[in-house]
Amino acid sequence: MRGFVVRRGRRADSKQFVGLLLALADFEHLEPPTEAGRRRIVRDVFEKRRIRLFVAARGDKLLGYALYFYTYSSFLAKPTLYLEDLFVLEEHRKEGVGFALFRKCVDEAVARGCGRMEWSVLTWNEKALRFYEKLGARRLSDWYVYRLDEKGLGGVPKGRSLAAPRR
């Protein structure tokens, strides 16, 4: 059952988009964004345009979304489309919604002259791993993902090196 379109997210989609974001947090067993976080992401998508949004819609109902932004590869000397979230409501999986959202991101990366597209997948999400690998994506084995959270950002020393003193 196709009957859906993939399009850019609109301000009028804000409430349903946040609902999808909360459903993703539940699916991934993560804490959802706070009320303030929800307001920030809506502002960052629709006002500041820091991040971009595609939605899959059937009529007025959103079925899923893809949230992305651009980074840059210094060695390719080209932008990279980074896919932050790709999520489809459970009752609409296996309808081609995820593929259509992913394909829209691929088309966007090509149109913007990106040298690559990247994303992360939770290690336990076997369905997603199979989905991406069927599309020809390859899992990188020679890179580790590191993260500084807000607390960690505040803990980086100012004005001094971490290197051991020379003797």
Q: For the domain that residue 97 is a member of, what is the CATH number? A: 3.40.630.30
Q: What is the pLDDT of residue 141?
A: 85
pLDDT at 1 over 80: no
Contact (Cβ atoms closer than 8 angstroms) between residue 87 and residue 74: no
Q: Which two tokens stand for residue 116?
A: 């690559």
Confidence of residue 15 (pLDDT cuts 50, 70, 90): very high
Q: What is the pLDDT of residue 163?
A: 66
Mean pLDDT of the chain: 92
Domain membership of residue 19 (yes or no) is yes
Domain count of the fold of the chain: 1
Contact (Cβ atoms closer than 8 angstroms) between residue 76 and residue 115: yes
Domain membership of residue 159 (yes or no) is no
Task: Show the domain range for 36.
Answer: 5-154
Q: Which two tokens stand for residue 34?
A: 């706070």
Burial letters for 64-78: b for 16+ Cβ neighbours within 10 Å, e otherwise?
bbbbbeeeeeeeeee
Catalytic sites, residue numbers = 132
pLDDT digits (tens, 9 = 90+) for 30-70: 999 999 999 999 999 999 999 999 999 999 999 999 999 99
pLDDT at 130 over 60: yes
pLDDT at 161 over 90: no
Domain membership of residue 103 (yes or no) is yes
Domain membership of residue 136 (yes or no) is yes
E strands present in 90-153: 116-119
pLDDT digits (tens, 9 = 90+) for 80-95: 999 999 999 999 999 9
